[in-house]
Amino acid sequence: MHYALAPRTFLFSHYFYTGLRIATGIVGLTFVSYAIADLPAAIAVAMGALCTSLMDMPSPLRHKFNEMLAGVLLCSVVALLVSLCSQVEWLLFTVIVLVSFLASMMVVYGKKAMPLQFAALFAMMLASEAPATPLQALRHGALFFAGGAGYMAYAMLVVWMLQRRLKQQVLAEALYELAVYTSIKAGCYDMAKDLPREMEKLVREQSVLAERQQASRDLILRGKPAPGEAILVQVHYAMFDLYELLLSTHTDYVQLRRHFAGSAILPLLGDLIGKAARDIEAVAYAMTRDEPSRATTDYRDELRALDEVLRELPSGEGDDVDAQVALRATVNKIGEVIAMIGRLHAASQARALSERALPMVPHSDVTPFLTQQRYSIGILLSNLRWTSPVFRFALRVAMAISVGLVSARWLPYTSHGYWTVLTIAVILKPSFSLTRQRRADRLIGTLIGCMITAVILHFVHAPAALIGFLFVATAAAPTFLSIKYRYTAVAASVQALLLIGLTVPHGDTGISERLLDTLLGTLIATFFSYVLPSWEYQNLPRLVDAVLDANRKYIDAAADLLLRRTGDDVHYRISRKQFMDSLATLGAALGRMLDEPAAKQRATSELNRFTVQNYLLVAHMAALRLLLQRYAEKLPSREVEAALESMFAEVGASLGGVPGATPAAPEGRTTWIAERPGWALLQRRLRLLQQDAAQVAQSRAAISKVLG
């Protein structure tokens, strides 16, 4: 379950804060407008505020300003244009289709543009509901703009005043996801669970974690932190150091499960990692409450039991020795994880530091780690082609909305065509899997919302009480938008029907008609989800190649760092982030493909293996780096450098790079090297890295064979 859906964390999440802020702004502007003018004016202002609120998402202040300003301007222009055309039926129809196409083309700019696309469609349908004279259209457009601009000013002021609180909440969300990631790792030590399935879950969670960590970076590292935000910077960096440690522990599950099945070792390891997950969650819990976290988790019993088990292990040979080496290395890493969680607790307790004390690389530029907001008309124009998935999506939306408008006119009752079209806009998404999910959520949510509204209107007649329910629905709709859309569908239905009940107190609220309109819109959206489709398998070869390219760059950066060709690890961290981002993109595409019809699924097992092997390669590289740091003073540098160069050359060859000649072993190597602390661990780690690189290449060949 998502952390924000849990009762003890819901009220402290940024999702709840966002919903409360949006409801307060919309309802407040509506009441102010109604006090100054009349009800139609207040409704026009509310429409502008409601459309603009769709762009009110957690973002850095400058990005938020740009996003909301784009929403105000675009939605106001759309509302004015549609209102001006509302008296000429064929012209209105043409404008609606054109706006639907152009708005849907905006998703070419990525995930951030999707709310803007829907806001434009929402404004379009609201403005098309009733015919208006040119003078009425101008008045409606001005009031719509005033509502949007007023809400934007209000939201920017509130977020500016509470920006530290927002950063805390977003950082806490990243910590919660890190705790989920850690708890999945604990399941890998459970013999009752299928290891390949657990590893696939781990890779999927890695994609979610990467998204939450990126949101944390964008808010906390962008710009100069205020003095009161130094603690957040410390916790943020401690979180990423902990993540790297956790990543390095994902390397030896197969060997440990094979050699220690049935013993007390695996349950002890699982218990320790499970406790670590709950400990990380405690830090996140304290962060949401603006409190320092205290280390209350006691690991001593499990650590003591592990020490006893390790002392009693019999001396073995061959595979037994390797398994014991892997076990001791895993125990050492878990000990480091526990110590790092202690640092995480300590970071949350520290007081504000000076700028020089912030744990950042001197003179480092964090820009490559941040999301860049770039919008170019060239990107849009380059996608105006038949082969572009975005272009086909825009055509699909325009055609579906056209059919929705025509169909609404044939219904035997007085239909609100915008409800049907709005259902189409909500359901039809660029990917088939998201369309399928939205379809079920919209249908079930509308049904439940209509039932709730019918009960409310039957028993509650006081306007003040109805306004209270309307406020709750207005707050709930944006709160659950990205975490449980079904709840948003329920709230949106209640909101729309209560608004009708308030503005037309003795009229028919049309609950049954709303259900039929929703059903019609769902049927149309379902049909058009198969029209001009872009199936995920068609994009897989490009995504696989992107992962391999990012993998090679990451290996090159790791070679520069470990062979000391560079003075810091900034380039290494950037390359690792880009590699993990490309892997997350491929994993997300694979997840969406599994929701598509079985006939459109390709190479699922091969892709699962490919993503897991790439993830393992990153984990081994992180483990290698930590191992070299741990034994830096105990290993002979010349021999280590030669072994690393040999490994990187072989890995480069496996991944299709341009390797140099494999270095020969340095002269004078003797058996004393094998006796040095850490040498056996190093040799084992290098061997595993080479094996993983070879398996990545094999998986890539298998994918190519299936996909052609």
Q: What is the pLDDT of residue 659?
A: 44
Q: What is the pLDDT of residue 662?
A: 43
pLDDT score of 202 more than 50:
yes
DSSP designation for 656: T
Range of lowest pLDDT (50-54, 307-311, 694-698): 307-311
The answer to whether residues 349 and 287 touch, using CB atoms and an 8 Å cutoff, is: no
Q: What is the pLDDT of residue 19?
A: 95
pLDDT score of 409 more than 50:
yes
| C-alpha–C-alpha distance, residues 532 and 527, integer Å | 11
Closest C-alpha to 100, from 76, 73, 120? 120
Range of lowest pLDDT (97-101, 315-319, 342-346): 315-319
Rounded average pLDDT over 420-426: 88
Range of lowest pLDDT (78-92, 373-387, 443-457, 683-697): 373-387
Query: What are the two backbone dihedrals, phi and then psi, of residue 462, each rounded to the nearest 5 degrees?
Result: -70, 125
Q: Coil, helix or strand for 365?
A: coil
Closest C-alpha to 563, from 645, 492, 504? 645
CB atoms within 10 A of CB 389: 19
Q: What is the pLDDT of residue 480?
A: 93
Helices (H) and strands (E) in the chain, counts: 26, 0
CB atoms within 10 A of CB 412: 6
Q: Within 4-60, where are the H helices? A: 7-10, 14-36, 39-53
Considering Cα of 585, then 540, then 587, then 240, what sign does the dihedral take? negative
Q: State what percent of residues in the chain have pLDDT above 90.
A: 41
| C-alpha–C-alpha distance, residues 156 and 165, integer Å | 14
pLDDT score of 360 more than 50:
no
The answer to whether residues 225 and 597 touch, using CB atoms and an 8 Å cutoff, is: no
Closest C-alpha to 219, from 152, 270, 168, 151? 168
Confidence of residue 319 (pLDDT cuts 50, 70, 90): low
Find tokens 């699924």 and name the residue.
601
Per-domain residue ranges of the chain: 1-161, 166-362, 386-534, 536-707
Q: Tell me which range, 90-94, 312-316, 459-463, is most confidently predicted by mean pLDDT.
A: 90-94
pLDDT score of 93 more than 60:
yes
Find tokens 């040119």 and name the residue.
134
| C-alpha–C-alpha distance, residues 321 and 255, integer Å | 11
Q: What is the pLDDT of residue 416?
A: 60
Range of lowest pLDDT (270-279, 626-635, 661-670, 672-681): 661-670
Those residues whose C-beta lies under 8 Å from the C-beta of residue 518, and which sit 6 or more positions away, are 419, 420, 423, 442, 443, 446
Q: What CATH code is assigned to 166-362?
A: 1.20.58
Q: Coil, helix or strand for 601?
A: coil
Rounded average pLDDT over 364-389: 81
Rounded average pLDDT over 82-108: 92
pLDDT score of 460 more than 90:
no
What residue ranges in 60-106 does DSSP mark as E strands?
none
SS3 content of the chain, % helix, strand, coil (to 5): 75, 0, 25
Region class of 133: left (phi > 0), else alpha (psi between -120 and 50), else beta:
beta
Considering Cα of 180, then 186, then 190, then 195, what sign does the dihedral take? positive
Amino acid at the residue 59: S
C-alpha 562: how far from chain center: 31
Q: What is the pLDDT of residue 506?
A: 52
Q: What is the pLDDT of residues 217-260, one digit of tens each?
A: 999 988 777 777 888 988 998 999 899 888 887 667 888 888 88
Q: What is the pLDDT of residue 361?
A: 45
Q: What is the pLDDT of residues 467-524, one digit of tens each?
A: 899 999 999 999 999 889 999 999 998 988 888 777 655 555 567 777 888 888 999 9
The answer to whether residues 480 and 441 touch, using CB atoms and an 8 Å cutoff, is: no
Those residues whose C-beta lies under 8 Å from the C-beta of residue 672, and which sit 6 or more positions away, are none
Closest C-alpha to 442, from 476, 481, 396? 481
Q: State what percent of residues in the chain have pLDDT above 70.
A: 91
CA dist 76 to 21, 117, 143, 499, Å? 22, 13, 9, 22
C-alpha 83: how far from chain center: 37
The answer to whether residues 520 and 420 touch, using CB atoms and an 8 Å cutoff, is: yes
pLDDT score of 666 more than 50:
no
Rounded average pLDDT over 43-60: 92
| C-alpha–C-alpha distance, residues 102 and 125, integer Å | 15
pLDDT score of 317 more than 70:
no
Q: What is the pLDDT of residue 316?
A: 60
Q: What is the pLDDT of residue 137?
A: 92
Computed over every residue of the chain, the mean pLDDT equals 86
Range of lowest pLDDT (91-100, 187-196, 369-378, 587-596): 369-378
CB atoms within 10 A of CB 121: 27
Q: What is the pLDDT of residues 268-288, one digit of tens each?
A: 999 999 999 999 999 999 999
